[in-house]
A = this chain, B = another copy of it.
Amino acid sequence: MDAKERSGRYEMNAPTFHCDCLGALQMGYLGNYMLNAADYHATERGFGWFYLKSINKAWVLSRLCIEMAEMPKANEHFFIETWLESVKRYFTYRNFCIEDAKTGRVLGYARSVWALIDSTTRQPKDLLEVRNGDIATWVNNDKRCEMAPSGRARMTDEARLAASVTAQFSDIDVNGHVNSMKYIEHILNIFPMEWHKRNRIRRFDIAYVAEAYCGDLLNIYTQSMPDGSIAVKITKTNDTEEDKEVVRGIILCS
Using a CB–CB cutoff of 8 Å, the interface residues on chain A facing chain B are 15-21, 23, 26, 28, 32-33, 35-36, 39, 43, 49-50, 74-75, 168-170, 172-176, 179-181, 185, 188-189, 191-193, 196, 214-215
Contact = CB atoms under 8 A, between A and B. Distances in A.
A217 to B, nearest CB: 14
A214 B35 CA distance: 28
Contacts of A18: 32, 36, 173
A215 B192 contact: yes
Contacts of A36: 15-18
Contacts of A193: 169, 172, 214-215
A172 B21 CA distance: 6
A20 B172 contact: yes
Contacts of A23: 174
6 contacts: A15-B39, A16-B173, A17-B179, A18-B32, A19-B174, A169-B191
List 7 tightest A-B contacts by C-beta distance, closest first: A15-B36, A168-B189, A170-B185, A19-B174, A193-B214, A17-B35, A21-B176
B21 A174 contact: yes
Given A17-B32, A36-B15, A170 B192 contact: no
Contacts of A17: 32, 35-36, 39, 173-174, 179-181
Nearest to A185: B170
A225 to B, nearest CB: 22
Interface centre among A16, A185, A215 (most CB of B within 10 A): A16
A221 B96 CA distance: 43
A39 to B, nearest CB: 5
A21 B178 CA distance: 10
A170 B26 contact: yes
Interface centre among A173, A175, A192 (most CB of B within 10 A): A173
Contacts of A43: 75
Contacts of A175: 21
Nearest to A19: B174
Contact of A16 (B16, B170, B174): B174
A49 B75 CA distance: 9
A239 to B, nearest CB: 14
B174 A188 contact: no
A173 to B, nearest CB: 5
Contacts of A176: 21
A39 B14 CA distance: 12
